[in-house]
């Protein structure tokens, strides 16, 4: 172990204990297996009906792919580092070089791609359900998907190439941490502001806002159904023996519509909750790291915990979509069919 103490200049120490390193390795392995299984299953489910897939289903596939790559890259990069630390071996990477920065930048890139995939998916759902825009308005699927992958590249590549922002080389782990600190000067400060806003805060708030708008819209629909039910019951109270069969069928239909709306609202609430739990702790920890003077080992350990919390979304997203996504997809398709019907009626009247 004494030979490992030679890394000094410009380096920082994480001071992981063997137990903490082992816990990180086990956590990475668990999230890797769970994320791999869930997202592969989601990919298979969408791909088998790919020819009939709408824009929101294509974006679900893109989300599953970004989640999958995030899990694979994080596992490939971090598990060997943590296991070497646990075993008391010296790090393989001994300086802040390009290999170090690329290995640290890849998980960050796929993490941002995951955030933007969720954001775009939320926006498309909001547009179809609340704004009642037809799916054909999102015909250029490649353009939308390109945005998801290009914005993270703009955020990460300048950092990896050492053009913008700074790094913490963690000597006792042999890894580059993409962390900014105000003591590093204007480059680090500007990079922190852009990453905090464009990488996490803005897309997270857009996604949260879209899901809440959809939730409120669905709840409003449910209230309309409840009012219609009360009025129907009041109208039939004076003649409750005239058409009992028809009244029963209407009640069943209204109850079914109400249950579907509730199912959609619950699904969106779960997705919003998971998204918030996954993203906000990491954002809080990078803000703490930015103002930390001097940068401490405990801050880096907190950031590591924040990274692991972000994996919750990687595991939970496919589970929620597979178990509860059917109601949401059917709801979106019904909105789409209603729009087509309305357009056909308008065209008929114009003729």
Domain spans in the chain, listed from the N-terminal domain onward = 11-234+247-350
Indicate whether 181 pLDDT > 80.
Answer: yes
> What pLDDT is recorded for position 149?
92
Q: How confident is the model at residue 350 (pLDDT cuts 50, 70, 90)?
A: very low
Indicate whether 176 pLDDT > 90.
Answer: no
pLDDT digits (tens, 9 = 90+) for 83-133: 888 888 888 888 788 888 898 888 889 888 888 888 888 888 888 788 777
Indicate whether 153 pLDDT > 90.
Answer: yes
Record the tokens describing residue 270, joined without a space: 């779960």
Record the tokens describing residue 145, joined without a space: 């998907």
> What pLDDT is recorded for position 150?
93
Q: What is the mean pLDDT of residues 257-281?
A: 69
Query: DSSP letters along 75-106, please?
Result: HHHHHHHHHHHHHTPPPS--SS-HHHHHHHHH
Indicate whether 163 pLDDT > 90.
Answer: no
Which residues touch 80 (CB under 8 Å, ≥6 apart)?
92
CATH assignment of 11-234+247-350?
1.20.1070.10
Higher pLDDT, 13 or 307: 307
In 3D, which of 210, 227, 221 has the Cα closest to residue 128? 210
Indicate whether 228 pLDDT > 70.
Answer: no
Contacts 24+ apart (CB under 8 A), 138-144: 138/55, 139/55, 141/55, 141/58, 144/55, 144/59, 144/120
Higher pLDDT, 139 or 123: 123
Distance in angstroms (rounded) separating the CA atoms of residues 118 and 125: 11
Indicate whether 161 pLDDT > 80.
Answer: yes
| Lowest-confidence pick of 99-108, 236-245, 301-310 | 236-245
> What pLDDT is recorded for position 141?
75
pTM listed for this prediction? 0.76
> What pLDDT is recorded for position 9?
45
Higher pLDDT, 263 or 88: 88
Distance in angstroms (rounded) separating the CA atoms of residues 8 and 171: 8
> To the nearest whole number, what is the mean pLDDT of the chain?
76
Indicate whether 303 pLDDT > 50.
Answer: yes
- Assess contact for 31 and 307: CB atoms under 8 A: no
Most confident of 164-173, 219-228, 252-261: 164-173
Higher pLDDT, 278 or 249: 278
Cα 261 to Cα 208, 216, 240, 274, distances in angstroms: 19, 11, 28, 20
| Lowest-confidence pick of 107-116, 117-126, 262-271, 296-305 | 262-271
Higher pLDDT, 343 or 14: 14
- Assess contact for 127 and 133: CB atoms under 8 A: yes
> What pLDDT is recorded for position 154?
92
> What pLDDT is recorded for position 249?
46
């Amino acid at each position: 172990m004494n030979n490992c103490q030679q890394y000094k200049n410009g380096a920082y120490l994480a001071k992981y204990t063997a137990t903490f390193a082992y816990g990180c390795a086990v956590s990475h392995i668990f999230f890797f297996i769970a994320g791999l299984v869930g997202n592969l299953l989601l990919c298979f489910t969408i791909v088998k009906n790919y020819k009939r897939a709408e824009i929101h289903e294509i974006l679900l596939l893109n989300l599953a792919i970004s989640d999958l790559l995030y899990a694979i890259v994080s596992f490939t990069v971090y598990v060997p580092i943590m296991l070497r630390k646990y075993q008391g071996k010296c790090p393989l990477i001994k300086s802040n070089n390009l290999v170090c920065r690329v290995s640290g930048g890849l998980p960050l890139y796929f993490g941002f791609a995951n955030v933007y995939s969720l954001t775009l998916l939320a926006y498309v759902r909001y547009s179809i359900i609340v704004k009642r825009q037809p799916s054909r308005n999102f015909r250029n699927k490649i353009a939308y998907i390109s945005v998801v992958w290009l914005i993270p590249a703009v955020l990460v590549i300048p950092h990896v190439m050492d053009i913008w922002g700074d790094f913490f080389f963690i000597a006792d782990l042999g890894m580059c941490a993409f962390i900014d600190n105000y003591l590093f000067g204007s480059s680090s400060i500007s990079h922190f502001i852009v990453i905090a806003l464009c990488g996490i805060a803005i897309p997270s708030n857009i996604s949260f806002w879209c899901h809440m708008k959809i939730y409120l819209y669905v709840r409003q629909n449910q209230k309309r159904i409840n009012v219609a039910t009360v009025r129907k019951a009041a109208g039939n109270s004076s003649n409750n023996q005239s058409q009992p069969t028809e009244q029963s069928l209407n009640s069943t239909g209204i109850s079914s519509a109400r249950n579907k709306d509730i199912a959609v609202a619950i699904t969106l609430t779960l997705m919003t909750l998971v998204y918030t739990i996954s993203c906000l702790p990491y954002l809080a920890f990078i803000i703490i790291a930015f103002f930390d003077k001097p940068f401490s080992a405990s801050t880096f350990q907190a950031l590591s915990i924040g990274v692991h919390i972000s994996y919750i979304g990687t595991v939970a997203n496919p589970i929620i979509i597979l178990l509860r996504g059917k109601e949401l997809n059917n709801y979106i398709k019904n909105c789409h069919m209603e729009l087509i019907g309305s357009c056909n009626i308008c065209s008929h009247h114009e003729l």
